[in-house]
Structure 1
């Protein structure tokens, strides 16, 4: 793992490449996304290429037989990912997941600091030991507990004790013990590394970043996302 100084520098240098989402609610409850990114040749290629992705053993919400797979790459220390999880994901679930049009996956891009890696691997241990439903409970709770003050991005906050105590809020002591043993035994590391390998393979440069059936989403509105899902379903 890189040291904190290196990771902080990486986060700063990558800020211009982040996928930023500005979320607003209007009277009819429509949610809009503003997507900002570097338009490099590599990025342009990523947006048009259909990538082969192995979705097995990945946490998701929705019908497993839904024709379209949406992926969010996120970091548990990313404040924009927190906003995305609490405001955008419920809308995606209502419009695309609950209607059976798509299923929604979460994959890790842990780049901010050691907390990013630790929390991602702990969440993977939750998924491995306690299953999909418990993963999503822990996932949402962890984002809720992300501090508002962005100075905490640069310090260790998501310690093993913090993560364990957080899991205790939604799981039994016996279940927590299983997860902790998994985490301490580094059994979840391979699953986390699989996600990080996809980050490089797919050209992900910031969080949150979404893919729809293997293609990077670069649209600016929810209608763009819905249209991309509709098109992907027809191409199946």
Structure 2
């Protein structure tokens, strides 16, 4: 009788163990299915203290890495960007950020990037974007060797005077060399290194790199991200 009770108890323990194992396997399978169907998260940018266009509440964050001496960036801002502005920024669907990747010229590119960061910090977001747009507009299509001194301090200050007061422009010119503004550019460059960015313009949508070539492909990517 005792032996029979022991066998019954052992069977119950075995059954419980099998139920636990089956349950555990089921949970693992469900977890794997969820992970497999979960959208891939993009790179986690720190958007704090970065100039942007658009509404704060917009779900989609678009980032452009650019160089103020880059002729392709100039073309992007004249042809591609207005479409982004019309379809996504002005409609409240996306915010658009600009981050620096000054690499074309070791002096000119960096000087313009640091100066622009000072404009943003000292004069605010609106003045920054006016300066940003005008700076690209005034860059010649050819930014090769004969133009190595294009982004001089005088040129940048005079350009800024076209979108703000003389006093504001001179204020920025007097402080832009401070360490803090270089640190802002260095922060952007840390992303460049981490993400292995090799050229400009390079675009990210919610932290995911845009790999397409046409605006239709870009629009589709942003619309998917907004859902």
TM range (shorter): 0.7 to 0.9
- Greater per-residue helix proportion: 2
Deviations 1:132-177 (A, max 9, x none): 0000010011111112334347622101111111111111122112
Does structure 1 retain, via aligned residues, the 8 Å contact 2:80–2:215? no
CA RMSD after TM alignment? 1.5
Instruction: Determine the structure 2 residue equivalent to 1:220.
Output: 213
In structure 2, the residue matched to 1:73 is 65
**Separation in 2 of the partners of 1:152 and 1:166?**
21
Matched, 1:188 2:169: no
Rg (Cα) greater in structure: 2
Q: Shift in Å at residue 223 of structure 1?
A: 1.9
Indicate if the aligned counterparts of 1:59 and 1:135 stay in contact, CA closer than 8 A: yes
Q: Does residue 1:139 correspond to 2:132, yes or no?
A: yes
Distance 1:153 1:225, change over 3 A: farther
Instruction: Map 1:1-236; keep pairs closer than 5 Å.
Output: 50-113=42-105, 114-152=107-145, 155-234=148-227
TM-score by length of 2: 0.78
What SS does structure 2 have at the residue aligned with 1:117?
helix
Using the alignment, how far apart are the partners of 1:212 and 1:96 within structure 2? 12
Q: Could you say which structure has the greater relative contact order, defined with CA pairs below 8 angstroms and 6 or more residues apart?
A: 1
Work out whether residues 66 and 101 of structure 1, in 8 Å CA contact, stay in contact via their aligned partners in 2. Answer: yes
Q: For residues 68 and 145 of structure 2, what CA distance do their matches in structure 1 show?
A: 12
Deviations 1:3-45 (A, max 9, x none): xxxxxxxxxxxxxxxxxxxxxxxxxxxxxxxxxxxxxxxxxxx
Where do 4+ consecutive residues of structure 1 move more than 3 Å?
Answer: none
With over 3 angstroms needed to count, the CA separation of the structure-2 counterparts of 1:64 and 1:167, relative to structure 1, is same
Give distance in 2, aligned partners of 1:102 and 1:123.
23
Return 5+ residue gaps in structure 2 as ranges. 1-39
Unpaired segments ≥5 residues, structure 1: 1-47
- C-alpha displacement at 1:105, in angstroms? 0.6
3-state SS of 2:85 partner: helix
Deviation at 1:49, TM superposition (A): 6.3
